[in-house]
């Protein structure tokens, strides 16, 4: 990829620790090139605990904004001058715009997730959704399913049930309910679900852990769909078994790309047509063997 640098070119980046493996530079630079935007997107390692220091550096170095990944998303919340509703609700920032010396924090993960579902033709309005996990990803996905996706009921099942209960307590109308992660609980809940969303890291490349059993998938109704936020591997064992059982499946690549589309809209103030950039980004990731 050729990125043309001019005096006017504005800088963006992703910060994290580790971050050098991040797909964000490839995704953003592909969109920037396709849309002819005068930006360049870099990769900046920032150690845990150094987010405040980084903010001062970024403003001095003239960055227009940046994305944040582990371990900075939560730490950035209290350092922002302004927060959007999603960042405030999830307690995590993944996109920061620097405008006239002020820091604006956004979280585009939940919107990215809903856009990916919609693009895949998976409906959530009026449905019952079983969310597995109650970590950072689930905090973005579960409330968004209720608030914007208009799901009738979202059950959050987590190994540490107290974390599921804390997440569900943020829902004032009781549409989010906590559950434990035992096999028989999952079987019962799967039988009622129209959609299962895996927000745990079980099955992810590099994490040497799988679900203890997947028999809960046998309880799914025909027509129920299964989504895994993991995109590496492209098809987890969970998705393999769900697809073999005749269920529609979706991995996390669409969410990854859509959250970047919404972040780039914040950075540049440009409305981006996802239908135009998505195939280009997918092709770039495929070419890079991601
Ligand atoms: P996290 O905050 O560390 O949460 C991990 C979750 O997995 C927790 O709910 C944890 O349960 C559960 N878990 C871990 N080991 C388990 C085990 N052995 N048995 C049962 N549950 C277990 O991680 P995260 O940030 O939410 O990320 C979760 C996954 O989502 C990762 O694979 C990540 O790559 C993916 N993700 C994808 C996107 C995307 O754009 N596609 C965006 C964000 C995240 P406890 O609470 O009991 O520890």
Q: Classify 52 as helix, strand or coil.
A: helix
Do 244 and 115 share a structural domain?
A: yes
Q: Check if 194 has its Cβ closer than 6 Å to any atom of ligand 1.
A: no
- Residue nearest atom 44 of ligand 1, based on CA coordinates: 137
In whole numbers, what is the pLDDT of the chain averaged over residues? 95
**Of 23, 73, 127, 144, which is the active-site residue?**
73
d(CA 272, CA 164): 35
Q: Which domain holds residue 228?
A: 111-251
Ligand 1 geometric centre to CA of 40 (Å): 30
Alpha helices in 196-252 (DSSP H): 237-244
Are 127 and 152 a contacting pair, CB within 8 Å? yes
Do 231 and 126 share a structural domain?
A: yes
Ligand 1 geometric centre to CA of 58 (Å): 29
d(CA 201, CA 188): 22
Are 128 and 152 a contacting pair, CB within 8 Å? yes
Q: What digits encode the pLDDT tens for the residues 228-239?
A: 999 999 999 999
- Residue nearest atom 36 of ligand 1, based on CA coordinates: 229
Ligand 1: which of 137, 141, 156, 262 to mutate, judged by most atoms within 8 Å of the beta carbon?
137
The number of the ligand 1 atom at minimal distance from the alpha carbon of 211 is 19
- Neighbouring CB atoms inside 10 A of 245's CB total 15
Q: Is 271 a catalytic residue?
A: no
Residue 261 lies in a domain: yes
Q: Check if 205 has its Cβ closer than 6 Å to any atom of ligand 1.
A: no
Do 242 and 148 share a structural domain?
A: yes
Residue 74 lies in a domain: yes
Do 232 and 263 share a structural domain?
A: no
Are 249 and 225 a contacting pair, CB within 8 Å? yes
Closest CA to 73 of 44, 53, 96: 96
- Residue nearest atom 25 of ligand 1, based on CA coordinates: 136
How large a percentage of the chain has pLDDT more than 70? 99
**Which pLDDT does position 151 carry in this prediction?**
93
d(CA 72, CA 217): 35
Q: Check if 54 has its Cβ closer than 6 Å to any atom of ligand 1.
A: no
d(CA 189, CA 132): 11
Instruction: Compute φ and ψ for 101, nearest 5 degrees.
Output: 80, 0
- Residue nearest atom 41 of ligand 1, based on CA coordinates: 252
Sheet with 225-228, edge to edge strand ranges? 176-179, 153-157, 128-132, 195-198, 225-228, 248-250
Instruction: Check pLDDT > 70 for residue 95.
Output: yes
Q: Check if 163 has its Cβ closer than 6 Å to any atom of ligand 1.
A: yes
Q: What digits encode the pLDDT tens for the residues 81-91?
A: 999 999 999 99
Instruction: Check pLDDT > 90 for residue 270.
Output: yes
Residue 5 lies in a domain: no
Per the structure, how many domains does the chain have? 2
């Amino acid at each position: 990829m050729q990125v043309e640098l001019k005096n006017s070119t504005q800088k963006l980046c992703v910060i994290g620790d580790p971050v050098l493996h991040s797909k964000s530079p490839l995704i953003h630079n592909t969109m920037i090139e396709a849309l002819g935007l005068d930006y360049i997107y870099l990769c900046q390692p920032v150690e845990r605990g150094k987010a405040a220091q980084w903010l001062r550096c970024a403003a001095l170095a003239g960055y227009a904004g940046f994305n944040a990944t582990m371990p900075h998303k939560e730490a950035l919340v209290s350092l922002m001058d302004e927060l959007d509703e999603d960042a405030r609700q999830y307690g995590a920032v993944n996109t920061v715009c620097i405008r006239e010396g002020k820091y604006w924090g956004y979280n585009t993960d939940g919107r990215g997730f809903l856009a990916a579902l919609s693009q895949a033709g998976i409906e959530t309005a009026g449905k019952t959704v079983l969310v597995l996990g109650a970590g950072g990803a689930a905090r973005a996905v579960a409330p968004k399913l209720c608030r914007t996706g208009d799901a009738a009921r979202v059950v959050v099942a987590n190994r540490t049930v107290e974390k599921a209960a804390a997440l569900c307590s943020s829902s004032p109308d009781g549409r989010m309910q906590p559950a434990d992660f035992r096999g028989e609980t999952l079987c019962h809940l799967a039988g009622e679900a129209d959609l299962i969303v895996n927000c745990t890291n079980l099955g992810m490349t590099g994490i040497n852990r799988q679900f203890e059993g997947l028999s809960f998938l046998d309880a799914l109704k025909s027509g129920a769909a299964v989504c895994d936020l993991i995109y590496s591997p492209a098809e987890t064992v969970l998705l393999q078994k769900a697809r073999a059982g005749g269920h529609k499946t979706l991995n996390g690549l669409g969410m990854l790309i859509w959250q970047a589309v919404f972040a780039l809209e914040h950075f540049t103030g440009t409305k981006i047509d996802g239908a135009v950039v998505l195939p280009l980004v997918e092709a770039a990731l495929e070419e890079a063997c991601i």
